[in-house]
Amino acid sequence: MKKFAVIAMLMVAVFVTGCAGQSDSESSIHVFNWGNYINPDVVQMFEEEYGITVIYSTFESNESMYTTIAMGGNVYDVLFPSDYMIYRMIQEELLRPINFDNVPNISHVSERFMGLEFDPQNRYSAPYKWGTLGILYNTTMVNSVIDSWEALWNPDYANLIFMYNSERDSMAVALKLLGYSLNSTNEDEINRARDLLIEQRPLVRAYVTDVVKDLMIAGEAALAVVYSGDAVFTMMHNPDLNYVIPREGSNLWVDAMVVPHNANNPEGAEAFINFMLRPEIAAMNTNFIGYTTANATALEMGLIDPALMEMPGFDITDEEYRRLEVFIDLGEFRDVYTRAFTTVLGS
């Protein structure tokens, strides 16, 4: 029995030393970002300039990233969550305030994306990319001006409509059409939005996510609810497509860089964030991904690919900006949305 205990101890020891993994020297940072959401050259440039190795991982949704961080057992230095998730992580004390003395390039970020509801004093986050939710439509397949969410309820387009299979985004469409806030916590309003989506259901070809881009490029449908970043991508490939932010208003989303509370190398993280906020670097990322940068200087200096700049929805006017609303994490009330949306999908 003693022999067994010794072997067990040895195994645990080997396991733990094995799990200690790479040395946590000052000269590395762990970055956790969306898949395909950075220009790989940028990472290499940062490594060469600062002598800091970037250990890079990717996630596919805010929720899975959140689980990874909240569960623990992992150490990351820079994360790229979206607005509502930043709010939630601040509430749960999972983030660490950024020392902006080390991030002077924050001055390049457009005023539009500073001090938004999810981080009112901008203590935790440095905006990276942003976009809107709107309607992508095929100009050869519509017979009227598309400028309202109402188009998605027009029986002329029966079976030519793709909705976005995401709870908050789809509910936002109906809530906005009804004139409510897309962060509504009034059950009556949610129920009315739900009924509106159920009423629309027979006209909808399908609730889809990523494939919507290929389908719209192939001319499969007249209308689709998409994010502006995806809209820009599709419009680059099919000149018949156009994008509009409906007049009732819509969602503005912002992905920002944050430092988790247990970061190993916060100075390295801040150096990385500052590097990413350089106008030339921001432009490299934007030209590579196609999503719009929050970096105002990069836009003004003409560093962005002109083909992108002229795409509808790539940038917005002040008037459009005023119609937009960011998502707030709704806490427990999330369940009401989930139930409503499940009913819609099941109808």
Partner 1 sequence: MRLRKTYLALILMFLYAPIFILMLQSFNASRTMGAWGGFSLHWYAALFQDRNIAQALYNTVTIGLLSATIAAVIGTLAAVGINNMRKGAKKIVLGLSSIPVANPDIVTGVSLLILYLSVFRLVGAGRLGYMTLLLAHIAFNIPYVILSVLPRFKHMNKHLYEAALDLGASPRYAFLKVVVPQLMPGIVTGWVLAFTLSVDDFMVSFFTTGAGVSNLSLIIFSMARTGVNPMINALSTLMFVFVMVLLFIINMRDSIKLKKLGG
> Using CB under 8 A as the criterion, which residues of the chain lie in contact with partner 1 when the complex forms?
12, 15-16, 18-22, 30, 32, 34-37, 40, 55-61, 64, 71-76, 209-210, 213-218, 229-230, 233-234, 237-238, 289, 291
When the beta carbons of 60 and 111 are compared against partner 1, the nearer one is: 60
Residue 60 or 188 with smaller CB distance to partner 1 = 60
Residues 252 and 250: their CA atoms lie apart, in Å, by 7
CB of 299 to partner 1, least distance (A): 21
Strand partners, 271: none
Q: What gap in Å lies between CA 184 and CA 246, rounded to an integer?
A: 19
In whole angstroms, the minimum distance from the beta carbon of 297 to partner 1 comes to: 24
| Closest to partner 1 by CB, 61 or 191 | 61
Neighbours of 191 (CB within 10 A): 13
Q: How far is the CB of 238 from partner 1 (least distance, A)?
A: 7
Segment (H or E) for 29: strand 28-34
Q: Which is nearer to partner 1, 229 or 249 (CB)?
A: 229
Bridge partners (DSSP) listed for residue 226: 134
The one-letter code for the residue type at 136 is: L
Least Å from the CB of residue 46 to partner 1:
14
CB-wise, 73 or 155, nearer to partner 1? 73
State the minimum distance, in angstroms, from the CB of residue 332 to partner 1.
23
- Strands 223-227, 95-96: pairing is unpaired
Q: Confirm if 289 and 220 have CB atoms less than 8 A apart.
A: no
Residue 85 CA to residue 68 CA, distance in Å, equals: 13
